Structure 1
Amino acid sequence: MTENNVMPVNNKPGRIIEFYQKRWIFFTISLVIMLVGIISAFINGVHLDIQFKGGALLKYSYAGDIDADAAADVVSGMLDRPVSTQLTSDIATNEKRLIISIAGNYGLDAKDQDKLDSVLKEKFPDSKLSLSESSMVEPFFGKKFLTDGIIAIGLSAILVMIYVWIRFSRMGGLSAGVMALVALFHDVLVVFFTCVIFQIPIGDSFVAVTLSIIGYSVNDTIVIYDRIRENTKLHPKTPVDTITNLSISQSITRSINTNLAVLLSVSLVYILAHINSIDSIQSFALPMAVGSISGCYSTICIAGPLWVMWKKRKNSSVAFKNS
């Protein structure tokens, strides 16, 4: 991206990156990401975790080799319910795990679980199957958890927009709030499509990641809006796109450093969780790492340029009415 000399700021020479002039490149990048996510959703489907759809999740440790498809057929044939299986291994302990997800409108009672345990051990006598973990969720509660999670994400985004609207009322609070909301929506979609692409089940970890990313993203956006407000007071006759480019350029180092620190720490958590096969932490850490990148990107490359477009269009409409 090109850089140009601009007016002195606080008696110091400033340099800006032309974010607004490059806006269509950024918008195209985001559009491509969304298209890839949508295509992946059609190919892979959207998988809800047991907390959101109800059913049962069983984790067995085993030795030797085991056929995951054969295990799924055994469980499905016995329970007459949709079943999916997955084989994982703990890098640290070399322990192998068979994960059985049983969907349906009810959980799995103790009698059926004991019977299933016996059938699997009979089918795979040399695998030394041992039940290490089981989770049961009724569909009613799963649906309620899903609804509450969506409401929490929606309310937080709306409250953020209202806060930005009130705080930056002098620079067009509504436009600032709406563009901050657009950036947040962009980040939520990126996190969602990350789960879809990597086939991470949508569960409580997704809600936790989304709410965390909303916090990081809006914090960066507010910093840039503050800088725009200050620079507008210093240079009231300077075009809004130049002021925005300058403000983002002055804040970009801080935004990148903050999100880089988050990315490094979350990446380390993911690596350790992957080594120890801690699925719940992996399903949080990977979307969180991608979401932190998206939060920084949307703040710098999406929210600011969109806000300038809004202001320019509004000014053009006022000028047209007054002519």
Structure 2
Amino acid sequence: MSKNNTQTEKVSTPAKVYDFCSKKRLILGVIIAVLVIFAAGAIIRGIHFAIEFKGGTLITYTYQGDINTNDVASAVKEIVDSNVTVRTGESLDSGGKQVTISFTSDQGLTADRQTELTTKLREKFADNDLVIYDSNDVNPASGREFLLKCFIAVLFAAFIVIIYIAIRFRNIGGWSAGVCSIFALCLDIFVAFTTTVVCKFSIDSNIVAVILTILGYSINNTIVIYDRIRENRKLMPKASLNELINVSCAQSLTRSIRTSITTIGTMLVITIVVLATGYKSLLSFSVPLMMGLISGTFSSLFVAPVTWSWWKNKSAAKKKSSK
């Protein structure tokens, strides 16, 4: 195939080109809807920080037979008056059964309260022969420091992304494209955070992993579209910016949807397996990530390029009027 034929194939427009740039009201509606859902979730469900962010106590007991984690959580909550998480597992050393109890607190657990808690659990679960295996307090200051470091890491990553896009796409207005891509990314992260709040998951290290995963995924999709716009600008020099964006998004639509179906489908399978096996602690990773990926597909096709189009057109109109 000749070079000319290859180039013609690249710039051939899809059978139907959607007017992506006219969807500003759709973007605004989605942002408002997410904000409303987050506010309702925060008021009704509340925002729950895990031990690593708020500080608290971890106590592990060995036990025999079968034990109901909900009953254990209820018994512990009567004493500590805090959100309680109970997980069961096996010791790597002995292979014996273990139940781990975690709850947030500002002061930690004193020796007297630990003795009171252990005594009550032994009385209520006398058949399970509970024996304390390990007990640790997590300092709230360490949790706040960890949260601050995570926040700084995300800000640093966003700054690097803006610089990268500004340099790579400097011929089509790189800085504005970079800022708009971060704006779209913020929506994806906020959707994942809102999902965490609405589902009443604790804000823990899983949400940090979700944010970093979404950052890489969403930015990759957005860069693909920016790359299309850059190529099409060379091959379609007479096209307006909105026409370039609409054609480029239409060219990337099928690829974005197929990639999203693959990744979102994988997370859906993981979620189903987790629900079936009872290892629910992983849900705070799989469910927010799945919703963040869905948002990432939307934002890479609509929010980033359409916001960038609005920015560039407004700047051009302002320059024109000042002359």
- Structure 2 residue aligned with 1:94: none
User: So what's the TM-score if we normalise by structure 1?
Assistant: 0.83
CA distance in 1, matches of 2:305, 2:283: 32
Matched, 1:237 2:199: no
User: For 1:320 and 1:158, how far apart are their aligned partners in 2?
Assistant: 32
SS at match of 2:83: strand
> 2:208 maps to which residue?
207
Change beyond 3 A, Cα 1:151–1:301: same
Task: Please tell me the residue identity of whatever aligns with 1:72.
Answer: K
Does the 8 Å contact 2:82/2:105 carry over to 1? no
Q: CA deviation at 1:246?
A: 0.5
Q: Distance in 2 between matches of 1:85 and 1:104?
A: 10
Contact 1:205–1:280 (Cα < 8 Å) also in 2: no
Q: 1: CA distance between counterparts of 2:291 and 2:159?
A: 23
Unpaired stretches in structure 2, ≥5 consecutive residues: 1-7, 90-97
- Looking at structure 1, the residues matched to 251 and 60 of structure 2 have their Cα atoms a distance apart, in angstroms, of 51
- Relative to total residues, which structure has the larger helix share, 1 or 2? 2
**2:71 matched residue in structure 1:** 66
Letter of the 1:245 counterpart: N
Structure 2 counterparts to residues 86-105 of structure 1, below 5 A: 100-105=101-106
Q: C-alpha offsets along residues 222-280 of structure 1, whole Å, 9 cap, x if unaligned? A: 00001001111111221111110100010111112222211111222222222222243
Whole-angstrom CA distance in 2 between matches of 1:288 and 1:59: 29
1:309, distance to aligned residue in structure 2 (A): 0.5
For residues 67 and 50 of structure 1, what CA distance do their matches in structure 2 show? 18
Opposite residue 66 of structure 1, the aligned amino acid is: D
How many angstroms apart in 1 are the aligned matches of 2:114 and 2:221? 49
Task: Map 1:188-267 to 2 at 5 A.
Answer: 188-267=189-268
Asked if the contact 2:76–2:117 (Cα under 8 Å) also holds between the matched residues in 1, the reply is no
What corresponds to 2:95 in structure 1? none
**Relative to structure 2, which stretch is displaced further, 9-18 or 231-240?**
9-18
Q: How many residues are paired up?
A: 304
Question: Could you list the per-position Cα deviations for residues 90-116 of structure 1 after superposition, in whole angstroms to 9, with x for gaps in the alignment?
Answer: 9xxxxxx98754332344467754542
CA distance in structure 1 between the partners assigned to 2:11 and 2:264 by the alignment: 35
Partner of 2:83: 84
Farther off after superposition, 142-151 or 117-126: 117-126
Aligned to 2:301: 300
The answer on 1:120 being equivalent to 2:125 is no
Q: Taking structure 2 as the reference length, what is the TM-score of the superposition?
A: 0.83
Distance 2:300 2:28 in 1: 13
Structure 1: unaligned runs, 5 residues or longer = 1-7, 77-81, 91-96
Paired with 1:54 and 1:201, the residues of 2 have a C-alpha distance of 13
Percent identity, aligned pairs only, is: 34
Q: Does 1:147 align with 2:148?
A: yes
Deviation of 1:127 (Å):
6.9
What residue is the counterpart of 1:38 in the other structure? Answer: 39
Distance 1:180 1:12, change over 3 A: closer
Q: Distance in 2 between matches of 1:222 and 1:158?
A: 15
How large is the RMSD of aligned CA atoms in angstroms?
2.9
Letter of the 2:283 counterpart: Q
**Map of 1:5 onto structure 2:** none
Contact 2:86/2:101 (8 A) holds in 1: no
- 1:67 deviates by 7.9
CA contact (8 A) 1:66 1:127 kept: no
Once the two structures are TM-superposed, the CA of residue 124 in structure 1 deviates from its matched residue by 4.8
Q: Residue 63 of structure 1: CA displacement?
A: 3.8
Check the 8 A contact 1:63/1:129 in 2, yes or no.
Answer: no
For 2:116 and 2:74, the matched residues in 1 are separated by 19
Q: 1:297 and 1:309 mapped to 2: Cα distance? A: 17
